[in-house]
Every structure is written in structure tokens, then in C-alpha cells.
Amino acid sequence: MSTVPTLDGITSQMIQTSRLNMHVLTCGSPDNPPIVLIHGNASAATYFEELMLALADSYYTIAPDLRGYGDTDDLLIDATRGAQDWSDDLVALYDAMNIKQAPILGWSLGAGAVMQFMLDNPERVSALVLESPVSPYGFGGTKDVNGTLCHADFAGSGGGTVNPDFVKRMSDQDRSEEDPNSPRNVMNAFFYKPPFRAEREEDYLSALLTEKLGEDRYPGDLVPSENWPNVAPGTKGPINALTPAYFNTSGIVDLANKPPVLWVRGDSDQIVADMSFFDFGTLGQLDFVPGWPGADVYPPQPMVGQTRAVLEQYQANNGRYQELVFSDCGHSPHIEKPGEFEAALRNFLAD
């Protein structure tokens, strides 16, 4: 049923919910306690299969393809709702699968979805795992740990910030290695710390290439801006959904019910970092984008610092969190350091 071949022991199925028909991978006995795994951008549930198999002795692992990705129904994302389309889709999936409460893990963009899910439905989250998470203040356009905007129109964030050559090569189903912007090369250069190459590289690349593309889909539309870098977010697609114009999950600090949080990241992440190579503040400071107005106006977004500041306030307000940093690791600890990641996850859940 899955577009991408699955490993032995993984079940692929379509689950009709009250909102859409979702493609879901499962593993383990349904009699085990459930854990839900949410993938990031330019990926799909496929990326979790090895982790699902590793946890199958103790958990019923559930990994859906989000709206806009994989084999789930190709319905549009209303970016003006931030991550709420994904959050509402997860509620519908929980209801369809009769999941009352479970630990939930979100990776990268998926962490934005699960933070919104916890903000909307804290009673359904027993524990939260944030792997290489997008900042609670979104991606792009902010300049300090409090999420202060660089420009009032959110310039420097949204669908217009994505490299169009990468998108075109995705559309062409490019599997080559000749150009730095090919999906294969972007995956290997940024999902992981080079020279790491995943054993299932071909399947992961196939999963990346299932993302739904177009102005209404990935990367989304844009609005011209008078402010550097002269592009502001539109209203459609996943990258606009995570702009500070529409996305802000810092309100988790005020939840009455605060599940424990595990924050996991690699020390060499180039996607979510205080000097992200996908952030215009970083690119401008490094002279890769002309016209940079300087660090006072548009510094690199302190993504890690923003997450830490929010989680410290979460803890000060009677919550609890742990930060775990894997050395010599990029954006995908569960793939790059699978044994260590599994052990850390099991210890957290047992605690």
C-alpha cells in the first residue's frame, strides 16, 4: 500500500478519519502501549521504520504521513492556521484509532505539529519528545530568544525562502548526485553530518520525493516585501505554516497539564541551529545573500536558544524537561545514532 517499500514487520495501511484518509505505518502488538512518531519536512513516516522495529517489543508504534506528505490524502494546508491543520488531523487519527493518550515524538517540522497538538490537547499527551525541533517561534524572521520579529511583515520566512532549484529537482524526481541542490545531495549534506550515509538511502530519497509540490503545496506561496531579503510569507503550504506570522507554540509554558519533555538534537545540526544554513540571517551574515542589513536588524535566528528559553520557562512553571545532545550528529539522531537514541527514548519513557 505504501509508495515506498516497507521493512518486514512494518504494516502499511490507510485509515479514514473524520478529516482525511491518512497513510499510517504501525509496528508491534496493538496490546502494547502506543507511541506516535511524526516526521519532518521533505520526509515521511518511512524514516521511522527502523526505530519502530526496535521499539516493537514494548510499544505499539504508530507513524502517519502528515497532510502534504507521503501517501496521505493530498489536501491543502491552510498556513494561516499555523500547525493546526496537522494538529486537528492528529486528533482525528487518535479518535479513529481509539488512542486516548500516548507519548508523541516530533522530528523537525513534525515537532512543530506535536507542540501544537499538545497545546490544543494536553490531556492526550503523556510525554513529549522533540527531536531537532523547529523553534516554538517558527522558522525565520525572528532575532532573539524571545522571538522578537526582525520585520513586522515577517520578511525572510515562508515559502519564498526555499531554494527553487531544489523544488524543481524534487518535481523532476531527480535522484542524481551531480548537483549540490539535488534532493539526494541535500538529504545527505543536511539531514546528517557528512560523511554519514544511511543504509536505506534509496528508500529515504523515495520518501522525500513523495512530498506534494506546487504554489498551493510545498513550498507554498510568497508575498514581495520592501524589507530584506525582500520576500514575506504567503498563506499556503507547509513552510508558510511554520512562519512566525502564523505559528507560535511558546504558550505551552502556561499549560495547566505539563507532560514531561525530552529534547534531543545533534551537535552538528545545520538545519535547526543558532547559525542555520537555511536561515537568511545566517546566509546574509556569511555574504551568501547580498544586501544584509546587519546583525542589529537581521541576525541569525537563535533557534536552539529560543527552544531552550521556552523549555526553561516550561520547567519554571512546574513542568519538566531534559536536553540531550548527541555528539558528531546532524539533524537526524534517530537515524545517525540509532542505538543511543533508542536507549535514551526508552529511559525517558520508563522514567
E strand spans, 79-177: 102-107, 125-131
Q: Which three cell numbers stand for residue 121?
A: 490537547
Distance from the Cα of residue 257 to its chain's centroid: 23
Distance from the Cα of residue 321 to its chain's centroid: 19
Instruction: Say how many C-beta atoms besides its own lie within 10 A of residue 312's C-beta.
Output: 15
Which has the closest alpha carbon to 114: 212, 209, 242? Answer: 242
SS3 308: helix
Identify whether the C-beta of residue 140 lies closer than 8 Å to the C-beta of residue 158. Answer: yes
Instruction: Flag whether 271 is in a domain.
Output: yes
Which has the closest alpha carbon to 128: 105, 144, 149? Answer: 105
Q: Which domain holds residue 293?
A: 11-148+248-350
DSSP secondary structure letter of residue 153: T
Distance CA(241)–CA(252), nearest Å, equals 18
DSSP secondary structure letter of residue 119: H
pTM over 0.95: yes
Measured in degrees and rounded to the nearest 5, phi and psi for residue 8 equal: -60, 135
Buried b (16+ CB within 10 A) or exposed e, 226-254: ebbbebbbbbbbbbbbbbbbbbbbbebbe
Q: What is the pLDDT of residue 122?
A: 97
SS3 82: coil
Judged on CB neighbours under 10 Å (0-12, 13-18, 19+), 3 is: middle
Please report, for the domain that includes residue 291, its CATH number.
Answer: 3.40.50.1820
Q: Which three cell numbers stand for residue 291?
A: 544586501
Q: What is the pLDDT of residue 260?
A: 98
Instruction: Flag whether 118 is in a domain.
Output: yes
Which has the closest alpha carbon to 48: 63, 33, 32, 68? Answer: 63
Instruction: Flag whether 198 is in a domain.
Output: no
* Domain count of the fold of the chain: 1
Find the radius of gyration of the CA atoms of the chain. 19
Identify whether the C-beta of residue 27 lies closer than 8 Å to the C-beta of residue 11. Answer: yes
Instruction: Flag whether 187 is in a domain.
Output: no
Instruction: Flag whether 182 is in a domain.
Output: no
Instruction: Flag whether 32 is in a domain.
Output: yes
- List per-residue pLDDT tens for the chain, 351 residues long: 799 999 999 999 999 999 999 999 999 999 999 999 999 999 999 999 999 999 999 999 999 999 999 999 999 999 999 999 999 999 999 999 999 999 999 999 999 999 999 999 999 999 999 999 999 999 999 999 999 999 999 999 999 999 999 999 999 999 999 999 999 999 999 999 999 999 999 999 999 999 999 989 999 999 999 999 999 999 999 999 999 999 999 999 999 999 999 999 999 999 999 999 999 999 999 999 999 999 999 999 999 999 999 999 999 999 999 999 999 999 999 999 999 999 999 999 998
Instruction: Flag whether 3 is in a domain.
Output: no
DSSP secondary structure letter of residue 246: T
What is the CB-side half-sphere exposure of residue 14 using CA atoms within 13 A? 11
Q: What is the pLDDT of residue 351?
A: 83
Q: Check the CA dihedral 322-325-330-335 and report its sign.
A: negative
Distance CA(315)–CA(310), nearest Å, equals 9
Q: What is the pLDDT of residue 1?
A: 72
Distance CA(168)–CA(279), nearest Å, equals 20
Pairing of strands 218-219, 34-38: unpaired
